[in-house]
Structure 1
């Protein structure tokens, strides 16, 4: 594990999270009124969560965690960003939706959870989470250890193929080089603002000032084989794998076609790409 890069990412996410949430109106009121940031894909993947204990790793500011809690689950959200967890705790209190949020790098958090005997029915991760993990194999082994027998790892993510192109759609990055992290001097971007409302189901509250992140960050580029290999290496049983020709919320390239439901896809005159995937794996 490259804990020095994790710490770099914590600072970058702290700065970006403040800006991301400036784009959003009163999220507590949105949630109190029955609103949710979850897309139908993850709701279907999670299934009936009533009465289940769900661990949401790399939960960001907690909006999706609270969406899962509103479906009847007991949710614990974990994220490395101080700003994200502080916001999530306030949002839980102000929305009246109960959930627990804990700030930590996920690796030591999982180690402590294993030692303490904490176990969950579902471990969930989504949308731009796995690229921040410096050692996916070790992370998955820890995920498997905190699952109850019969428990599920549920993940929906942006596709590795989509990540080999820059914003202009040019092939610019390796498909898989997890041992050579991508180092970004300009840090975590204001991708919420760039999504043109795709990541704000409550409606955009106003354009934040142009954002320059003072803290660099590092991401880890992995292919599908790396991801499935880590799951199988953790002795989880693959139950489902799907690919999607559209992107939920996030607009990966400058020129994209808009679809209903805050989705983006390739323009009609261009070949389609897998822009997302989902995976479900069970503990025997």
Structure 2
């Protein structure tokens, strides 16, 4: 497989866009170190249920963003490594880890490069984990799944909680605009990664939302990849993993994906009552034999 197959040039454009977006996102989140020092966690019940007891286990958090969930995983007793393509996100994660006094290892790398290099070193983990807006940045599912399998120990698990590809078919006003089947063709957004923290009205900053950067505009475009549930499951199966759990949820955690979403307890976001329900998230657990 070559860098052309992986569309590495698109990955680098995504890196630049995420660098800018991360600044905007964290501008709304205030004193995050204090939140963690006081025992806070950014994890939702869904990922904790799928992960189970992770105390004492080695875990790699792929596409870890700015490290808030990574540190929350450490709080559950795991030995955690975070990996993300964004320079800004990893720099923030390292600083937050130090200031919060929660030890974790962070690496700035394209996830494909990191997985390949880690597999070559023979390093393996009990759990690989990804969540909330992760799979849409994966340009080649089979390569991704095989490399995840290679960095898992025997009986190790890959756990993912993510926004449902069915939800990605709709515009913010619930109009059907995008295809479900794209066969790996990129979808380019000229306005880049947006400020979804501001759009979610603070639901992604449970310790207190701050105004921060207003009217954020990203100068760098991004490229996403639409993969169906069947694509994802098949890639994991072909990588030699065994699917143990597949769940779908009629709400999104923290993030207001659409207009007029209703916030329920636990920061769960539902469509308004005049819109039929649809799957907004899914969760999977796949185990290495």
| CA deviation string 1:81-121 (max 9, x = no partner) | 00000000000000000000000001111111011111000
1 CA distance for matches of 2:141 and 2:74? 27
Equivalent pair of 1:198/1:263 in contact (CA under 8 Å): no
* Aligned mate of 1:229, from 227, 234, 239: 234
Aligned equivalent of 1:4: 9
1:255 aligned residue: 260
Q: What is the rounded CA distance, in whole Å, between the counterparts of 2:164 and 2:253 in structure 1?
A: 11
Question: Could you list the runs of 4 or more consecutive aligned residues of structure 1 that deviate by over 2 angstroms after TM superposition?
Answer: none
Provide the residue aligned with 1:142 in structure 2: 147
Selected match of 2:93 from 88, 95, 113: 88
Matched with 2:250 is 245
d(CA) in 2 for partners of 1:266 and 1:190?
Answer: 20
Compute the displacement of 1:207 (Å).
4.4
Aligned residues: 284
Map 1:42-191 to 2 at 5 A: 42-191=47-196
Q: Does 1:20 align with 2:25?
A: yes
Say whether 1:193 aligns with 2:198: yes
What does the per-residue CA deviation read over 1:8-36, in whole Å, with 9 as the maximum and x for residues that have no partner? 00000000000000010100000110111
Structure 2 residues without counterparts, runs of 5 or longer: 1-5
Give RMSD over aligned pairs: 0.8
Alpha-carbon distance in 1 for matches of 2:256, 2:59 = 28
2:24/2:212 contact within 8 Å kept: no
For 1:62 and 1:120, locate their aligned partners in 2 and report how far apart those are by CA, in whole Å: 18
In the alignment, the residues of structure 2 paired with residue 27 and residue 176 of structure 1 have an alpha-carbon distance, to the nearest angstrom, of 39
Maintained 8 Å contact 2:73/2:80: yes
Q: Distance in 1 between matches of 2:184 and 2:103?
A: 39
Deviations along 1:113-167, whole A, 9 cap, x unmatched?
A: 0111110000000000010010011101000000000000000000011000011
Q: TM-score, normalised by structure 2?
A: 0.97
> 2:28 touches 2:212 (CA, 8 Å); kept in 1?
yes
What secondary structure is seen at the aligned counterpart in 2 of 1:193? Answer: helix
CA distance in 1, matches of 2:232, 2:266: 28
Partner of 1:41: 46
Secondary structure at the residue paired with 1:206? Answer: coil
**TM-score, length-normalised on structure 1?**
0.99
